[in-house]
Amino acid sequence: MTRAAEACFHCSEPIPAGVVIRAHVHGRDEPVCCHGCKAVAEFITGAGLTDYYKYRDAAAARADEPPRPDRWSAYDRPELVERLTRAEPGGARSITVLLEGLRCAACSWLADKALHLQSGVLDVSVNPATARARLVWDPARVRLGDLLRVLEHVGLRPHPISGEPAEQLAILERRTALKRLAVAGFGMMQVMMFAVPLYIGESSGMEPEYRELFRLVSLLVSVPVAIYAGWPFYQGALQAIRARSISMDVPVSIGIVLAFAASVWNALTGRGEVYFDSVTMFVFFLSLGRYVEMIARHRAGSVADALARLAPVTARRLRAGEVEDVQAAELAVGDELLVRTGEVFAADGVVTDGSGRVDESMLTGESTAIAKDPGARVHAGTQNLGPPLRIRVDAVADATVLSGIVALLERAQAERPRLAKAADRAAAWFLSRILVGAALVFAAWWFVDPSRAFAATLAVLVVTCPCALSLATPAAIAAATSALARRGVLVAHSDALETLAKADCVLWDKTGTLTKGLIRVEEVRPLRGLAEAECLSLAVALERLSEHPIARAFLASGAAGVTASDVEVAAGQGLEGTVDGRRLRIGSPAYAAGLAAQAGVPAGLDGESWVCLGDPGGMLAAFRVTDQLRPEAGGCVTRLGELGLQSEIVSGDERAAVEQIAARTGIARFESRLRPEAKLARLKALQAEGRVVAAIGDGINDAPLLRGADVAIAMGRGSALAQSSADLILVRDSLDELPETVELARRTQRIVRQNLAWSIVYNLAALPLAAFGLVPPWLAAIGMSLSSVAVVLNAMRLSRGSDDRRGRHWSLERRAEAA
């Protein structure tokens, strides 16, 4: 690798050989990898936002194509604006958009600044955690389409979101939980403050007047804690009882209610003990655990959103020969739609007229466009790359394939981790025994010493509360999940961490996983003495008019200059057109040679990786187009090897291509030309040897492999189907984080085991002491809380930053290696 490894100024990806594009940035020419990145970089610096490049901590998304401003014109239409946006005071409108490519806080800064440069923008709030932005603007001064255009210009593609009940519910839930937590926390601190003098007064004497005062004030402070902050536990307990089951909430509620009621009675009558300190502390720590769990759950919800945004909001309906724009929600089965070039299908349907190509990569991961003729099925969310198509709608809204995938994913997310479920079952078993035990203890003490019966029973209930047991797994998994989410690894099934920790073998898909899945022009071979740049510019002139993935490769490689006319498309073969009065063909070697009188295909150009340019005089040039190896792939494989995970490639590609990739990544074992069933068979064979297999893939052809694997990992840009089968999703579409994830999974398992061991030992030791009345309720509460806190703090070690730094360091080393 020589100069080819020079990194793009904007997206930091290596610039392919033969590509010379410079973005003019602050009087300097910076190298960029494609025209899309050039446009974005020049727009950003031109708008005075260069600071973005200084402060960002993640490279920008590669702009695969230059922005297409006309895409947003639809959002200038009043009826669409009416439906997508909300009215704000003063005639302003607001909208929530999801920003694709928002990777770090600097990106949100960029979006914010770029929008504020527009007149008429009243307010912008960008949330990098959820990749959502809320815009408020004055429709009289600026149009929505213009704002969306600006966002696309800075490389953040906006997806307007209409109604978002789920998102709003999540915000509401988060806010309410935070308030309850605050009430419990403040209450606990106050009650402690009064509890200390009361305990000291017990031993060293205290005037009854102040004793009364402290007890009544404690009562006053505890009321909101017990009622408001404790409310979710009572609700949960009621639900569990109605469902004739027993959950953690039942003994928790019984404990709170009994202790609180007894304390209130004693405080009012001025006799006996009060347990307000125990009650408030109990509620606070339980609420804290619930809050952490809820945050992790909300974070996992964003993948489904990302899928749901694929379907467009408008469609063109044909009715009585007239084309009318309608909202996608209004479509019905039987409607006929006109879908123009570049548009996304709003519903599933059957092609009735026209034949063209459709990009189904968002559903299948297949980067090659699929040919569609009348009678073929098309799906919502896919993009028409060819000529306009007419389709008859046969499924809308929830019946579409896209919605099915979204539903699948949501269901998968609702499942709780296997390990946590086991702990909950264990806890429920434990709880029912505790309730029986507490009743026995009460009965026994009633005969021995009725005055101590209540205190001992309460101590048993509180001290043995298995919250540490129940918290042991969720706390560790929540900490690991959030640590991973910060690094761009999304955990879709949390029991995956358990399996990943044990994995000893990795099966790799090649295209899109070890390689980038983006076709690039790797080599230009002039055949009749033209300069490389000249060959490229002729090719680009022709390919500019096509939307084929190979054409995109040429456009990304740059150099234009001339324009082509009279272009004709030969489906599946190539393009023919006139450039500077010269008739040219570009496409497969045989097709390109077709213009010349004596067809001569040069030797050594067989196979799919060569595209040729020809004119009536013969061949002009040949271009080798290939997929690029991910720069981090080699380092990742080596690191995984060090961790004891053996790598193996299972690919559907030709042997030569797979062999080359295997050699470059240092993978000894590889199998080529495998069909999906064969991949699965290989997987089963490994599993039969007793190995725990992780599989990494991106496309629909990997879905069976991913489903069969012990732990499945999908790439962030892969197909939705692959992602819905996956346990882990590498959101940043980079392999960098994979070894770190394995290490973190192993540490998580260690910490879960420590936590479980500790809480079991604690509960077993405390129970007899409490039953014999040796533990006063306040001590029981402290012991119980400390055991929970110990478990939570132990788990929090997983989310500390030291490893983050190490990860970054490693990825820097890796970049240096690649250069």
Partner 1 sequence: MSILYVLIPLGLVLVALGLWAFFWAVGNGQFDDLDSPGWSVLEDDGAPPAPRRGKPAMDEDESP
Minimum separation from the CB atom of position 778 to partner 1 (A):
21
Q: Report which of 123, 135, 122, 133 is spatially closest to residue 167, judged by C-alpha positions.
A: 133
Is residue 297 within the footprint of partner 1 (CB under 8 A)? no
3-state class of 308 per DSSP? helix
802: its two tokens: 């030291």
# of chain residues touching partner 1 (CB under 8 A): 40
Is residue 758 within the footprint of partner 1 (CB under 8 A)? no
Helix axis angle, 777-796 relative to 276-300, nearest 10°?
A: 20
Q: Which amino acid is at 816?
A: A
Residue 533 CA to residue 560 CA, distance in Å, equals 9
305 included as an active-site residue? no
Q: Is the separation of the CB atoms in 705 and 695 below 8 Å? A: yes
Q: Report which of 294, 265, 267, 263 is spatially closest to residue 180, judged by C-alpha positions.
A: 294
Number of residues that make up the chain? 819
Rg (CA), the chain: 32
Exposed, middle or buried: residue 274 (CB in 10 Å: 0-12, 13-18, 19+)? buried
Q: Which stretch, 205-213, 515-523, 530-538, 621-629, contacts partner 1 (CB under 8 A)?
A: 205-213
Q: Do β-strands 669-671 and 693-697 pair in parallel, antiparallel, or remain unpaired?
A: unpaired
Is residue 147 within the footprint of partner 1 (CB under 8 A)? no
**x/- binding map, residues 160-179, to partner 1, per CB under 8 A?**
--------x--xx-xx--xx
Exposed, middle or buried: residue 61 (CB in 10 Å: 0-12, 13-18, 19+)? buried
**Among positions 22, 77, 81, 109, the unique one binding partner 1 when judged by CB under 8 A:** 109
Is residue 196 within the footprint of partner 1 (CB under 8 A)? no
**Among positions 65, 70, 79, 123, the unique one binding partner 1 when judged by CB under 8 A:** 123
Minimum separation from the CB atom of position 537 to partner 1 (A):
41
Minimum separation from the CB atom of position 613 to partner 1 (A):
48
Exposed, middle or buried: residue 242 (CB in 10 Å: 0-12, 13-18, 19+)? exposed
**Among positions 42, 51, 64, 394, the unique one binding partner 1 when judged by CB under 8 A:** 51
**Among positions 50, 73, 127, 660, the unique one binding partner 1 when judged by CB under 8 A:** 127
Minimum separation from the CB atom of position 218 to partner 1 (A):
11
Unique residue bearing structure tokens 């050594």: 604
Q: 509, 698, 727, 736: which is the annotated catalytic residue?
A: 509
Residue 479 CA to residue 620 CA, distance in Å, equals 60
Chain CA centroid to CA 295, Å: 14
Is residue 55 within the footprint of partner 1 (CB under 8 A)? yes
Q: Which amino acid is at 268?
A: L
Is residue 190 within the footprint of partner 1 (CB under 8 A)? yes
Comparing CB distances to partner 1, the nearer of 210 and 429 is 210
**693: which residues sit within 8 A by CB, 6+ positions away?**
503, 505, 506, 507, 683, 686, 687, 709, 710, 711
Is residue 112 within the footprint of partner 1 (CB under 8 A)? yes
Is residue 129 within the footprint of partner 1 (CB under 8 A)? yes
Comparing CB distances to partner 1, the nearer of 131 and 380 is 131
Comparing CB distances to partner 1, the nearer of 264 and 318 is 264
Q: Do β-strands 86-87 and 93-100 pair in parallel, antiparallel, or remain unpaired?
A: antiparallel
Residue 796 CA to residue 125 CA, distance in Å, equals 30
**Among positions 1, 4, 87, 182, the unique one binding partner 1 when judged by CB under 8 A:** 182
Comparing CB distances to partner 1, the nearer of 136 and 491 is 136
Is residue 213 within the footprint of partner 1 (CB under 8 A)? yes
Q: Is the separation of the CB atoms in 16 and 520 below 8 Å? A: yes
**Among positions 220, 318, 779, 782, the unique one binding partner 1 when judged by CB under 8 A:** 220
Q: Which stretch, 111-119, 346-354, 381-389, 403-411, contacts partner 1 (CB under 8 A)?
A: 111-119
Minimum separation from the CB atom of position 228 to partner 1 (A):
5
Is residue 116 within the footprint of partner 1 (CB under 8 A)? yes
Comparing CB distances to partner 1, the nearer of 125 and 432 is 125
What are the residue numbers of the active site? 509
Question: Which residues are near partner 1 by CB under 8 A?
Answer: 51, 55, 96, 105-106, 108-109, 112-113, 116, 121-129, 134, 136, 168, 171-172, 174-175, 178-179, 182-183, 186, 190, 207, 210, 213, 217, 220-221, 224, 228
